[in-house]
C-alpha cells in the first residue's frame, strides 16, 4: 500500500468509528449536540414549565408553587376568572387578564405585520432596482433591523418623552395623544407599534428582496413584449412569484410579534401595554403567580402554533394550486 | 494494484433490491466495465466497492483484504465521478493534491506527484486555474489527475464521460485506454453506453435489475451473448429478434422459417424460441456470397434508409400490413446493414438472406441462449 | 417632491405647452400621464427618499440628543440640537406656528462620547466588550452545532427525521418567557459539578447564563438556513472528498461548509445580530454589573442613574453600541441578500 495511514492520530479514532456506522447512527450522533443544547435550554424547561402550569399559585407562601390543580389555571385563564389590576383599555380593572393580553398581542401582531409587509414590500421594490448608490441605500434601509431592542426602545422613548422629544407635542397638536402618552395604554400601544414598524420593516424588506431577486428577469421581458404595463407586470409576475417568500417572511414576523416583550418593557412598561409575554413576566416578578405565568406561556405557544398551521396550510394550498 | 472480489454483495433500499447477491472476481490490472441500463444497480455496485454505500449483505475484498467495513479513504481506491465533482472552491493544484495533503505527504513529494499526474493527462500550465474557468474536457482531465495522483490500487470510474460532448467522448475513450496501459492499474468502469464498454474493457459485466447477466470479454459478449438481454444490449444498432417456435423442420414464425434439425441444435419441437440475427448478418439476396452460409430468401419491403457514409442501415418490413413502430423494432420489422452504394429505395420489394452461422437461438421463456450459429 | 418638478430637460418641454393658464402642477401631471416611464422614475425617487428619511431620521435625532449640552436637553428640536436660536414663524392659512432655526447652536457638546467611557460613571466599553464576546461565542457555537444538524437534516435519510425536525421547529413557538422560570432556577442553583469552574457554582452572573440559552433558542433558525444550503451541494462532491481521504465529517467541513459560504455567512450574521440585540435574557441573567458579564443593554440602562437620567449619555452610548452591528451590516449585506435568495426562501 502506497497510501500513508490516515488513522494514526488518536483524535481520528472516534471519527473512524463513526465512518463505519449506518446512516441512522451517524445521523443521531451528529444531532446529539443540537439536541443536548435544545434539551437543556428549551425542551427540559418547557416540560418543567408545563408541570408548573398544573400546580397552584401560592402568592404569599415561601414556595411559589403549591399542589397539583390540573388544568385549573388554564380553565381560569380561558374563562376569564384570572384577574389582575391591569389598566389597558379598562380603568375599572374588570377585564379578564388573558383577554386583555390576548387582545393587545393579537392587535399588535396584526397591525405591525400588516404595516411592515406593506412598507417592507415597498422598500424591497426600491432595493430591487439597479441604480447608483444602491449599496448604501440598501445599508440605510436594512440598518434598523440590526439595532438592539434596547436602543430602538430608547430612541422612541426619547422622541415621545414630553420634555425632550418632539413627538408628544406633535401628536397632541393633532389631537391624537393625551398629556402623558408613555403612561397611557392606547398612546403607548401606538408608540410601540411605530417603533416596531420602524425596526422590522427592514426584516420584511430583506426576505422579500431575496424573493424578488430569485424571479427570472426574462419573465419581465416576455411581459413587456406582450404589452403589460408596470402595474400588470407587478400583479401577474412579481406578486405571484414572490408570494411564497412573502408568506414565509410574514410567518416569521408573526411568530416574533406574538412574543413581543423587550420593546414594551423598555418603553412604556409591561403594566401599560400588557402583551402575553409581558403577562408571563409580571406574573412571575410582580405577583409571584408562577403557575399562572407558566399556563400563559403555554397558551401563547398554542396560539403561535395555530398561526403557523394556518400559514403552512396556505402555503401548501398555493403549491397544490400551482401544480 | 490489486484484485477486487465481490462475494454475495446485496444492497436493499427499503423494499427495492438494488443489487442482488453479486459475485464477481476482478483480476489485478484488469479493465472491467459494468454496463447496463440506468437504474440497473451498476452504480450501487461501484459505490459498494468504493465504500460510499454499505452493502446490506456480502463482502468486498480489495487486494485480498476484506474492506467491507472500511471507510472509502482507507480502501486504497480513487474515483472519477459522472459529474466530475471537482471542488469548485479549489484551483487545479489544490484539487489534484487534496488527497495527498490529507495524507500528510511532504510538500516536495506532493509537488512531484502532482507534476507527474498533470504530465500524464497533459495539464501543464493550468495549475492555478479554477474549475469554473475550464472546459468540460479540461475538468475531466483534472478529475483523472486527482484520481491517479495517489497511485491507487484500484481506479473506479462512474460514467466519467457521460457529460462530455460526443467528439470529446470518443477522444477521451482512447485517452483512458492509453492511461490504463501506462498505469497498469485495476480499473472498474461504469457506463450505460455499450460503445464505451466494448471499446475499452478487458471484460464487460452486463448488469440488469441488480443481477450479473454476463461477464466476458467484449467480443464474447457480442458474438456469444448468454441471454436475450445481453444480446439486445450489446451492439449498436441492436440485434434483430424474431419470436417463433421449433417444429420438426426447424424454426418457424409468421414471416421467417429457418430449416434445421432440432436435435442437432439441442432444441425440441414445440419449444418457444427467439431467433436473433445482427443487422450486419442480414444480406441482400444479390450479395448472398457475403454470408458464409446463406438461408433461404425472405421477401421484404424497404421502409426507411439511413445512409451513414461508409455503410447504410435499411429498415425492412416483412409485409405491407406491418405497421412501422415508433419505438424500436416491432414484430415483422428487420434492420439490415449494407454497403453504401446498394441500389435500394424506399418502397422497393427486396429479397434478403440471413447468415446461418451468425444466427442465435434463445429460449423465449428463460431468455437463455441455446445456440450461437446454426450448423 | 419638488425635485421632480424641475428637471433640466423638462423645462424645455414646458414651452411646448400650448395652454399657459394651466398650473405648473397640472402640466407636470399631464406630462407624467403621457410618459409613464417618467412617472415611474419619479415615484421611485419619492419612495427612495421617503424610506431613507424614515429609516435614518431616528439615528440623526439620536445624534442631536447626544451632542446637546445637558442643560439644553429640554430644548431639542426636530432637526437641531438644544440651544439653537430659533424664531417663530406662523404658517398662513393653517395658523400653525413653527420654530425655525435661526442660527448655529451656541454650544455643542461632543464630550458625551468620551464621558460614557468614564470608569467613575459607567465604563460602557466593558459592557460593549461583554456583549461582543457573548455574541461571538454564541455565533460560533450556533454555527458549529447547526452545521452538524443542518447536514443531517439536509442530506441524510433516516428514521425519525421529520419528527425531530418538527421538535426543532416547535421550540421556536414559545416565548422566551416560557423557558425562563425553570432556566432561572437552573442557573441560580448551586451546582457542585461547576464549582471548580465558577466561584459559587451557579451560572447566574456569568456569560454562560446568557449565551447558552441564546445559542439554543436561535439554533433553529440557523439549522433551517444551513439545511437548505447543505442540501444543495451535489452528492458527488461529498463522495469525492471521502474517496480522496476525508471522513464524512471532514467532507462536511472541508467541502460542504466552504461551498455554502453565503448561507453560513447569513446564518452567522443573523445569529450575531440577534444575540447582540437580544433583550430578554440579557436583561434578566445578570445583576447589571459589568464585572459580572452584564451586556451592553445593562450599560445603557445604567445611565438612568439614581438621581438623574443622563439622556445625552444614553444617546451617545447607543450610537457607539450600534457601530459594531452597523459595520457588520455594511460588510455583509450583499452576502445576506444572496444567502437568503439562494436558501431560506425556497423552503
> For chain B, what are the domain ranges?
4-226, 240-372
Whether residue A1 lies inside any domain: the answer is: no
Report the residue of chain C nearest A123, measured CA to CA. Answer: C51
Positions of chain B with pLDDT lower than 70, given as ranges: 1, 324-328
- State the count of interchain CB pairs (< 8 A) between A and B: 23
CB B88 within 8 A of CB C259: yes
Which residues of chain B does C232 touch, with a Cβ-Cβ cutoff of 8 Å? Answer: none
Q: Give the best residue of C50, C228, C345, C346 to mutate against chain A (max A CB count within 10 A).
A: C345
Contact B339/C at CB under 8 A: no
Residues C13 and C159 in one domain: no
Residues C268 and C289 in one domain: yes
pLDDT tens digits, A257-278: 998 998 998 888 888 888 888 8
Question: How near does any CA of chain C get to the CA of B57, in Å?
Answer: 19
Closest CA to B83 of B16, B164, B199, B26: B164
Q: What is the pLDDT of residue C83?
A: 67
Give the integer Cα–Cα distance in Å for B358 and B278.
8
Residue A34 to residue C146, Cβ atoms within 8 A: yes
Q: Which of C247, C276, C278 sits opposite A16 (nearest CB)?
A: C247
* Number of CB atoms found within 10 A of residue C328's CB: 18
Residues A93 and A43 in one domain: no
Residue C179 to residue A24, Cβ atoms within 8 A: no
Residue C245 to residue B99, Cβ atoms within 8 A: yes
Which residues of chain A does B70 touch, with a Cβ-Cβ cutoff of 8 Å? Answer: 20
Q: Which of A34, A173, A277 sits opposite C219 (nearest CB)?
A: A34
Which residues of chain C does A165 touch, with a Cβ-Cβ cutoff of 8 Å? Answer: 76
Which residues of chain C does A293 touch, with a Cβ-Cβ cutoff of 8 Å? Answer: 177, 181
Residue A23 to residue C158, Cβ atoms within 8 A: yes
Residue A262 to residue C325, Cβ atoms within 8 A: no
Whether residue C109 lies inside any domain: the answer is: no
Residues C204 and C330 in one domain: yes
Q: Give the best residue of A1, A2, A3 to mutate against chain B (max B CB count within 10 A).
A: A3
Q: What angle do helix axes C208-231 and C261-277 make, rounded to 10 degrees?
A: 160
Give the integer Cα–Cα distance in Å for B314 and B312.
6
Residues C33 and C144 in one domain: no
Residue A37 to residue C279, Cβ atoms within 8 A: no
Q: pTM score > 0.90 for this model? A: no
Q: Which of C243, C246, C259 sits opposite B79 (nearest CB)?
A: C243
Q: Which of C240, C247, C255 sits opposite B71 (nearest CB)?
A: C247
pLDDT tens digits, B198-215: 988 999 999 999 999 999
Q: What is the pLDDT of residue A92?
A: 46
Residue A6 to residue B70, Cβ atoms within 8 A: no
Which residues of chain C does B99 touch, with a Cβ-Cβ cutoff of 8 Å? Answer: 244-245
Question: How near does any CA of chain C get to the CA of A138, in Å?
Answer: 8
* Number of domains forming the structure of chain C: 2
Give the integer Cα–Cα distance in Å for A292 and A57.
7
Residues A119 and A190 in one domain: yes
* Number of domains forming the structure of chain A: 2
Residues A32 and A151 in one domain: no
Whether residue A127 lies inside any domain: the answer is: yes
Contact B163/C at CB under 8 A: no
What string of DSSP letters covers A23-60?
A: HHHHHHHHHHHHHHHHIIIIIHHHHHHHHHHTEEE-SS
Give the integer Cα–Cα distance in Å for C153 and A62.
46
Q: Which domain holds residue A135?
A: 85-322
Report the residue of chain A nearest C326, measured CA to CA. Answer: A143
Q: Which residues pair with B191 in a beta bridge?
A: B35
Distance of CA B99 to the CA centre of its chain: 30
Report the residue of chain A nearest C178, measured CA to CA. Answer: A297
Q: If DSSP codes are grouped into helix, strand and coil, which group holds residue B293?
A: coil
Residue A46 to residue C322, Cβ atoms within 8 A: no
* Number of CB atoms found within 10 A of residue B181's CB: 9
Residues A71 and A92 in one domain: no
Q: Which of C234, C245, C247 sits opposite B85 (nearest CB)?
A: C234
Report the residue of chain C nearest B53, measured CA to CA. Answer: C239
Q: What is the mean pLDDT of chain A?
A: 82
Give the integer Cα–Cα distance in Å for A67 and A45.
19
Residues C301 and C205 in one domain: yes
Which residues of chain B does C241 touch, with a Cβ-Cβ cutoff of 8 Å? Answer: 87, 98
Q: In what order do the strands lie in the sheet with B349-354?
A: B282-284, B349-354, B298-307, B312-317, B333-338
- Tell me B130's DSSP state: -
Which residues of chain B does C247 touch, with a Cβ-Cβ cutoff of 8 Å? Answer: 71, 73
Residues C49 and C174 in one domain: no
Whether residue C108 lies inside any domain: the answer is: no
Which residues of chain C does A37 touch, with a Cβ-Cβ cutoff of 8 Å? Answer: 141, 145, 212, 215-216, 219
Q: What is the pLDDT of residue C4?
A: 42
CATH for B4-226? Answer: 3.40.50.300
Which residues of chain C does A298 touch, with a Cβ-Cβ cutoff of 8 Å? Answer: 178
Residues C13 and C129 in one domain: no
Residues A33 and A156 in one domain: no
Whether residue C201 lies inside any domain: the answer is: yes
Whether residue A15 lies inside any domain: the answer is: no
* Phi/psi at A209 (5° precision): -60, -45
Residues A61 and A208 in one domain: no
CB B369 within 8 A of CB B361: yes
Dihedral, CA of residue C252, residue C257, residue C263 and residue C264, to nearest 10: 110
Whether residue A267 lies inside any domain: the answer is: yes
Give the least confident one: A47-56, A209-218, B279-288: A209-218
Alpha-carbon Rg for chain B, nearest whole angstrom, is: 24
Whether residue C195 lies inside any domain: the answer is: yes
CATH no. for residue A315? 1.10.3720.10
Contact B87/C at CB under 8 A: yes
Residues C74 and C30 in one domain: yes
Give the integer Cα–Cα distance in Å for A193 and A111.
8
* Residues 6+ positions from B190 with CB-CB distance below 8 Å: B33, B34, B35, B42, B43, B45, B46, B156, B157, B158, B159
CB A146 within 8 A of CB A224: no
- Which chains have at least 3 CB atom pairs separated by less than 8 Å from chain B? A, C
Burial of C84 (0-12, 13-18, 19+ CB in 10 A): buried
Which residues of chain B does C236 touch, with a Cβ-Cβ cutoff of 8 Å? Answer: 81-85
CB A277 within 8 A of CB A32: no
Is the pLDDT confidence value at A178 over 90? Answer: no
Q: Give the best residue of B63, B104, B105, B107 to mutate against chain A (max A CB count within 10 A).
A: B104
CB C287 within 8 A of CB C294: yes
Q: What's the angle, vertex CA C251, arms to CA C247 and CA C254, rounded to 5?
A: 125
Whether residue A305 lies inside any domain: the answer is: yes
* Residues 6+ positions from B132 with CB-CB distance below 8 Å: B88
Give the integer Cα–Cα distance in Å for A219 and B117.
47
Residues A37 and A98 in one domain: no
Contact A3/B at CB under 8 A: yes
Q: Which domain holds residue C265?
A: 114-346
Residues C280 and C184 in one domain: yes
Residues C121 and C79 in one domain: no
* Number of CB atoms found within 10 A of residue C197's CB: 11
CATH for B240-372? Answer: 2.40.50.140
Question: How near does any CA of chain A get to the CA of B32, in Å?
Answer: 22
Q: What is the pLDDT of residue C228?
A: 86
Question: How near does any CA of chain B get to the CA of C253, in Å?
Answer: 13
Query: Last residue of a domain, which of A76, A95, A119?
Result: A76
Give the integer Cα–Cα distance in Å for C248 and C266.
24
Q: What is the pLDDT of residue C345?
A: 41
Tell me which H or E stretch contains B122. Answer: none
CB B319 within 8 A of CB B255: yes
**Section A302-316 average pLDDT:** 84
Per-residue pLDDT of chain C (347 residues; tens, 9 = 90+): 344 444 444 444 444 444 555 677 777 777 767 777 777 788 888 999 999 999 999 999 988 888 888 777 777 777 777 666 777 667 666 666 666 666 666 677 778 888 888 777 788 999 999 999 999 999 999 999 999 999 999 999 888 899 999 898 888 778 887 888 888 878 777 665 555 555 566 777 778 888 888 899 889 989 988 998 899 899 889 999 999 989 889 999 999 999 988 889 989 998 999 999 988 888 888 888 888 888 888 888 888 765 677 888 888 999 999 998 999 888 888 777 777 776 544 43
Whether residue C176 lies inside any domain: the answer is: yes
Amino acid at each position: 500500500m502506497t497510501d500513508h495511514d490516515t488513522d494514526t492520530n488518536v483524535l481520528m479514532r472516534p471519527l473512524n468509528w463513526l465512518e463505519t456506522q449506518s446512516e441512522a447512527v451517524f445521523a443521531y450522533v451528529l444531532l446529539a449536540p443540537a439536541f443536548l443544547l435544545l434539551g437543556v435550554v428549551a425542551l427540559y424547561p418547557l416540560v418543567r414549565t408545563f408541570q408548573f402550569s398544573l400546580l397552584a399559585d401560592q402568592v404569599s407562601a415561601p414556595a411559589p408553587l403549591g399542589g397539583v390543580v390540573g388544568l385549573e389555571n388554564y380553565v381560569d385563564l380561558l374563562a376569564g376568572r384570572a384577574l389582575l389590576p391591569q389598566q389597558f383599555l379598562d380603568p375599572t380593572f374588570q377585564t379578564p387578564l388573558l383577554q386583555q393580553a390576548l387582545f393587545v398581542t393579537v392587535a399588535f401582531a396584526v397591525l405591525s405585520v400588516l404595516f411592515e409587509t406593506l412598507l417592507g414590500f415597498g422598500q424591497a421594490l426600491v432595493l430591487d432596482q439597479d441604480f447608483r448608490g444602491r449599496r448604501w441605500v440598501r445599508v440605510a434601509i436594512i440598518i434598523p433591523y440590526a439595532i438592539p431592542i434596547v436602543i430602538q426602545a430608547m430612541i422612541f422613548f426619547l422622541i415621545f418623552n414630553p420634555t425632550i422629544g418632539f413627538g408628544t407635542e406633535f401628536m397632541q397638536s393633532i389631537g391624537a395623544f393625551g398629556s402623558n402618552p408613555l403612561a397611557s395604554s392606547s398612546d403607548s400601544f401606538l408608540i410601540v407599534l411605530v417603533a416596531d414598524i420602524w425596526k422590522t420593516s427592514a426584516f420584511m424588506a430583506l426576505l422579500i428582496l431575496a424573493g424578488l431577486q430569485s424571479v427570472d428577469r426574462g419573465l419581465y421581458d416576455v411581459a413587456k413584449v406582450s404589452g403589460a404595463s408596470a402595474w400588470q407586470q407587478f400583479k401577474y409576475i412579481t406578486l405571484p412569484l414572490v408570494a411564497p417568500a412573502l408568506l414565509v417572511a410574514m410567518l416569521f414576523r408573526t411568530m416574533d410579534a406574538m412574543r413581543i416583550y423587550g420593546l414594551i418593557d423598555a418603553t412604556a412598561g409591561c403594566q401599560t401595554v400588557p402583551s402575553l409575554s409581558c403577562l408571563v413576566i409580571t406574573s412571575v416578578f410582580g405577583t409571584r403567580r408562577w403557575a399562572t405565568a407558566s399556563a400563559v406561556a403555554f397558551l401563547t405557544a398554542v396560539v403561535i402554533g395555530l398561526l403557523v398551521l394556518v400559514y403552512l396550510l396556505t402555503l401548501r394550498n398555493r403549491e397544490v394550486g400551482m401544480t | 494494484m490489486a484484485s477486487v472480489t465481490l462475494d454475495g454483495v446485496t444492497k436493499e433500499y427499503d423494499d427495492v433490491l438494488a443489487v442482488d447477491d453479486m459475485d464477481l472476481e476482478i483480476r489485478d490490472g484488469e479493465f472491467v466495465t459494468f454496463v447496463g441500463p440506468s437504474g440497473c444497480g451498476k452504480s450501487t455496485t461501484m459505490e459498494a466497492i468504493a465504500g460510499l454505500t454499505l452493502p446490506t449483505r456480502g463482502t468486498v475484498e480489495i487486494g485480498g483484504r476484506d474492506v467491507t467495513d472500511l471507510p472509502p479513504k482507507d480502501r486504497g481506491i480513487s474515483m472519477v465521478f459522472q459529474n466530475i465533482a471537482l471542488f469548485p472552491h479549489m484551483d487545479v493544484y489544490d484539487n489534484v493534491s487534496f488527497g495527498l495533503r490529507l495524507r500528510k505527504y511532504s510538500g516536495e513529494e506532493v509537488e512531484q506527484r502532482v507534476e507527474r499526474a498533470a504530465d500524464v493527462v497533459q495539464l501543464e500550465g493550468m495549475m492555478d486555474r479554477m474549475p469554473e474557468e475550464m472546459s468540460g474536457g479540461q475538468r475531466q482531465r483534472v478529475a483523472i489527475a486527482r484520481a491517479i495522483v495517489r497511485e491507487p490500487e484500484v481506479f473506479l470510474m462512474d460514467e466519467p464521460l457521460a457529460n462530455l460532448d460526443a467528439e470529446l467522448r470518443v477522444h477521451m475513450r482512447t485517452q483512458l485506454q492509453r492511461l490504463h496501459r501506462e498505469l497498469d492499474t485495476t480499473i472498474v468502469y461504469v457506463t450505460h453506453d455499450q460503445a464505451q464498454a466494448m471499446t475499452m474493457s478487458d471484460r464487460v459485466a452486463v448488469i440488469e435489475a441488480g443481477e450479473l447477466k454476463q461477464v466476458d470479454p467484449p467480443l464474447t459478449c457480442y458474438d456469444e451473448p448468454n441471454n436475450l438481454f445481453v444480446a439486445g444490449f450489446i451492439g449498436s444498432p441492436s440485434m434483430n429478434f424474431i419470436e417463433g417456435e421449433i417444429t420438426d423442420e426447424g424454426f418457424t414464425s409468421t414471416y421467417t422459417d429457418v430449416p434445421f434439425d432440432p436435435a442437432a441444435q439441442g432444441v425440441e419441437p414445440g419449444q418457444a424460441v427467439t431467433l436473433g440475427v445482427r443487422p450486419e448478418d442480414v444480406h441482400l439476396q444479390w450479395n448472398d456470397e457475403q454470408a458464409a452460409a446463406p438461408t433461404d430468401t425472405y421477401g421484404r419491403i424497404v421502409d426507411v434508409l439511413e445512409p451513414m457514409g461508409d455503410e447504410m442501415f435499411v429498415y425492412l418490413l416483412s409485409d405491407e400490413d406491418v405497421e412501422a413502430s415508433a419505438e424500436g423494432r416491432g414484430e415483422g420489422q428487420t434492420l439490415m446493414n449494407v454497403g453504401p452504394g446498394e441500389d435500394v429505395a424506399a418502397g422497393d420489394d427486396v429479397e434478403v438472406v440471413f447468415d446461418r452461422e451468425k444466427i442465435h437461438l434463445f429460449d423465449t421463456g428463460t431468455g437463455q441462449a441455446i445456440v450461437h450459429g446454426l450448423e | 417632491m419638488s425635485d421632480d418638478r424641475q428637471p433640466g430637460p423638462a423645462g424645455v418641454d414646458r414651452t411646448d405647452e400650448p395652454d399657459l393658464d394651466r398650473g405648473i402642477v397640472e402640466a407636470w401631471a399631464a406630462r407624467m400621464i403621457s410618459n409613464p416611464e417618467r412617472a415611474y422614475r419619479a415615484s421611485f425617487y419619492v419612495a427612495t427618499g421617503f424610506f431613507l428619511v424614515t429609516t435614518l431620521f431616528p439615528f440623526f435625532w439620536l445624534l442631536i440628543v447626544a451632542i446637546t449640552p445637558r442643560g439644553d436637553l429640554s430644548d431639542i428640536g426636530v432637526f437641531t440640537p438644544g440651544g439653537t436660536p430659533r424664531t417663530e414663524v406662523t404658517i398662513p392659512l393653517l395658523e400653525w406656528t413653527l420654530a425655525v432655526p435661526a442660527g448655529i447652536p451656541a454650544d455643542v457638546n461632543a464630550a458625551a462620547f468620551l464621558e460614557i467611557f468614564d470608569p467613575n460613571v459607567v465604563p460602557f466599553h466593558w459592557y460593549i466588550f461583554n456583549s461582543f464576546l457573548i455574541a461571538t461565542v454564541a455565533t460560533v457555537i450556533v454555527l458549529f452545532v447547526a452545521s452538524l444538524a443542518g447536514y443531517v437534516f439536509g442530506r441524510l435519510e433516516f428514521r425519525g427525521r421529520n419528527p425531530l425536525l418538527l421538535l426543532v421547529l416547535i421550540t421556536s413557538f414559545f416565548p422566551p418567557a416560557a423557558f425562563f422560570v425553570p432556566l432561572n432556577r437552573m442557573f441560580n442553583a448551586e451546582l457542585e459539578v461547576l464549582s471548580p469552574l465558577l466561584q459559587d457554582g451557579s451560572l447566574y452572573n456569568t456569560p454562560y447564563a446568557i449565551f447558552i440559552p441564546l445559542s439554543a433558542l436561535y439554533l433553529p433558525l440557523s439549522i433551517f438556513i444551513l439545511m437548505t444550503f447543505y442540501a444543495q451541494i451535489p452528492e458527488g462532491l461529498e463522495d469525492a472528498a471521502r474517496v480522496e481521504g476525508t471522513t464524512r465529517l471532514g467532507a462536511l467541513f472541508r467541502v460542504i461548509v466552504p461551498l455554502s459560504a453565503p448561507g453560513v455567512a447569513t446564518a452567522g450574521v443573523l445569529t450575531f445580530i440577534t444575540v447582540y440585540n437580544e433583550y430578554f435574557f440579557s436583561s434578566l441573567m445578570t445583576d447589571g454589573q459589568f464585572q459580572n458579564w452584564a451586556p451592553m443593554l445593562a450599560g445603557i440602562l445604567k445611565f438612568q442613574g439614581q438621581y438623574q437620567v443622563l439622556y445625552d449619555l444614553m444617546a451617545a452610548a447607543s450610537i457607539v453600541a450600534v457601530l459594531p452591528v452597523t459595520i457588520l451590516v455594511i460588510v455583509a449585506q450583499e452576502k445576506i441578500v444572496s444567502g437568503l435568495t439562494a436558501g431560506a426562501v425556497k423552503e
